[in-house]
A and B are shown apart, each in its own frame.
Chain A
Amino acid sequence: MKRTVLLLTVCFALKTWSAALAQEGGLTLPDQPDDQLSLMLPSKPVDSEPQQLLQVFVGPSKLCCAGKIPIAGAYHLDGAMLIFDPAFDFIAGQTYTVQSHGENAYLTEFVIAADDALPPPEVIAIYPSGSALPENTLRLYIQFSTPMMPHRSDEFIRLLNADGVADTAAFMSFTQELWNADRTQLTLLMDPGRIKRGVAQNTELGPALLEGGAYVIVIDGGWPGAIGDQNTTRFEKPFTVSHPLRSLPSVDLWDIDAPQTASVAPLTITFDRPFDQQQVRSLITVRNTDGHPIRGTIVLTDHEQTWQFTPDTPWSEGNVQIVVDTKLEDVAGNNFKDLLDHIYAAETTAVDQAQITIDVTLNP
């Protein structure tokens, strides 16, 4: 997987012996993020420490290397081969510059090909995934194929109406964007001031989404990934707007399909509405009658309206419990205790316990 580079080096200053060295010995560059670098050393003695003979820097050669710090790693000698093992894996798509032979600097650029490890940045999903979104949809999740450059969402994400006109006040603008830890998922909130009836933005601008309308969320091309120099290509999610969700969620509105005991058939819940795709994966758990969690895999289908739990091992009892955390929100931010928009008096079906337990009898 390694390729040996013999004559790709750019010579900035050289002594005769070191020029010969680079061409004879050769530098082996990494092909994969976890590869090492190696440099064949001359047979004659050299008056430098290994660290001086082979250094790797972040960035292109034109910005290298005065005043820059080489990346951390370990040096080993294997015969006449000097090997550099970086402290962390190289990042695919990032340009690095190798400086070989100390003061007589040969600069060699390399990039770990993005197709080996890091796909180009692109939008891979937007949640809610349905083609019809409730008028008061609160939270959108945009999933990317790679870690993304932060603080650019304002520039690249737009909501267009059917005439192609952008609504520049549709989304909340945060000083701190809501990324997951590896910056592959951005949480985007519709401005709740537009959703909540009677508050200033709602009165002045109206809701961003209107029932019966057609809209497109556009993520423009050109959004750079966190690493490397690749950009997104344009992504569009067209959708229509359905009736707002103005009632509290209730487990009474769910259809529960019990599997057969002793099987690994899934336990299925069909919701009356789409739930928050992130919360619904963690806030509904399956337990045995002692209250111990049962391990398994959750799959969401039908645009987050069907939840399927497949146990890791066959169902061992005739009864199980589905435990629902009442903080679970539908896509409009309504949970079992409270509606996001309080214009209506509190509904009598609101619950005040932290969890709702549903007893399920498996089929014999």
Chain B
Amino acid sequence: MLNLKTTGLASLLCAAAFTSGAFAQDAALDLKFAGALEFSDTGTLFVGDNYNGAIYAFDMSDGAAPTQVALVNIGDIDVKIADTLGVPKSALAINDMAVHPITAEIYISVSRIGNFKSAPAIMKVAQDASISMLDLASVPFEVQALDHYPDQETTFRPRGLGQGEPLIRDIAKGEITLSSLAIMDMEYHEGELFVAGVAFDNFLSTLRRMSYPFDGSQSAANVEMYHISHDQFETRAPIRAMSIQKVDGKTQLVAAYTCSPIVLIDLEEIVDGAKISARTLMDYGNGQPLDLVSYSAQGEEMLFLTSNSRSPHVIPVSSLNDAQTYTKGDLPEGGKSDMMPIMPVGDTGKAVMFDGMSLQIDNLGDALFVSLTRDMYTGSLNMDSNFNGFPNRLHNLVAEFDFPQYWEDE
């Protein structure tokens, strides 16, 4: 039996991991929104704040690796996060998820609405599936404000499809601010952070690069790409998800856009003030990409691309070598929808099964994906760990194997 008073100090140290009244009020850390997340190789957590137009880097490098990475499965994780933050599920929004490269802890950025305020929080899911709130106020951090951060007033321009009457969503989009796309995805690569999003007063699709540790300097380059299914060059809609890979012997950014080109950009092209022309390799079909995760399977490097509208797509990185590129005039003129015989164009990947839709996905160790998955039938949001070689919940389906007679006959 321990005496409480003597254990008090240890308990306080222990409890420090949970503290945070100071979080929202600490003048030194003025995080307003916890959006895109990215880890450096050594465990620095980058957090994109689209409200402040800044990237925060938290030093989380002091954790130890588990002896073996465990599967983490948590049902109704949104309810459990809301419980931890003292609010009902309806007052929670989940923004991004990233796995610590060393500790295999899973970090989730959220917004908590309560008493008229939206507050950011970052949740930690440990290897034992325990959920806690990260005390950001106790973590050393650096901040880098974005140059050319756009205004927060301008909203999307509603449009109709061709000459047709406007659709409902065309109007709805007119109420959303463009600056909510300021930071879409971040990739850390060899001492530099690459950031996709929109920038400048005219909200151009922009790639930024900045060295880390931050030295105050950053480069911002506009990206133009030929969009196969739209049959036009596009300069505004930002990259949704990206990954840095060796393609054609060069270090290149593989980037996924909405509806749904995959393009290549040589990292050497990303210099301040540049107008980059990305090389379009494929259009695998309409939808909005969510995450692009690189991993190894079947002995080769793969990309796992999730979408809000399609099954995940698995693309071998080697298939991008010597790939044909497409530009205006290479294909029959006009827009191209999924059903047209020419579609998909240049697709070297395969659509794979995934039970439910993945809202967020990342690598968990070498063999697993961890996903926040929306269940089709219950609508619940679950954290699932799937083996990346065959990343699905096949056992949830009803098939021949679920009949007891099948096993009797065997």
* A contact residues vs B (CB 8 Å cutoff): 33, 41, 45-51, 56-59, 68-77, 85-92, 94, 96, 117-118, 146-147, 149-150, 172-174, 176, 178, 181-184, 187, 189, 192-193, 196, 199-200, 226-227, 282-283
Contact = CB atoms under 8 A, between A and B. Distances in A.
B117 to A, nearest CB: 7
A289 B131 CA distance: 56
Q: Could you say which of A117, A173, A193 has the most chain B C-beta atoms within 10 Å of its C-beta?
A: A193
A56 B119 CA distance: 20
Given A74-B18, A94-B88, A149-B90, A87 B133 contact: yes
Going nearest first, the 3 A-B pairs with the smallest beta carbon separation are A74-B19, A87-B20, A72-B133
B1 A147 contact: no
Contacts of B91: 91, 147, 226-227
B104 to A, nearest CB: 20
Interface stretch (B2-10, B232-240, B299-307, B318-326): B2-10
A182 B88 contact: no
Nearest to A181: B118
A362 to B, nearest CB: 27
Contacts of A91: 86-87, 91, 114-115
Nearest to B16: A74
B115 A117 contact: yes
**Size class of the B contact interface (CB-based, 8 Å):** 35 or more
A88 to B, nearest CB: 6
B21 A189 contact: no
Contacts of B115: 33, 89, 91-92, 117-118
B367 interface: no
Nearest to A96: B86
A87 B113 contact: no
B267 to A, nearest CB: 35
Contact of A45 (B4, B11, B82, B85): B4
A268 B182 CA distance: 36
B88 A226 contact: yes
A182 B11 contact: no
Given A87-B133, A189-B171, A50 B86 contact: no
A149 B133 CA distance: 24
Interface string B149-186: 00001000000000001101101100100000000000
B345 interface: no
Interface of B: 1-5, 7-8, 11-12, 14-16, 18-21, 23-24, 80, 82-88, 90-91, 112-119, 121, 131-133, 135, 153, 165-166, 168-169, 171-172, 175
A70 B88 CA distance: 13
B117 A182 contact: yes
A111 to B, nearest CB: 13
Contact of B153 (A41, A48, A59, A282): A282
Contacts of A196: 165
A88 B11 contact: no
A183 B114 CA distance: 10
Contacts of B83: 57-59, 68-71
A58 B24 contact: no
Contacts of B21: 73-74, 85-88
B15 A50 contact: yes
A56 B86 CA distance: 9
B1 A88 contact: no
A88 B114 CA distance: 9
Contact of A172 (B12, B23, B168): B168
A209 B389 CA distance: 58
B118 A182 contact: yes
A90 B86 contact: yes
Given A91-B114, A147-B113, A178-B172, 15 more contacts: A46-B4, A50-B15, A69-B83, A70-B84, A71-B83, A71-B86, A73-B18, A73-B21, A74-B19, A77-B4, A96-B86, A147-B91, A172-B171, A181-B113, A226-B113
A51 B10 CA distance: 12
A56 B84 CA distance: 9
Nearest to A202: B165
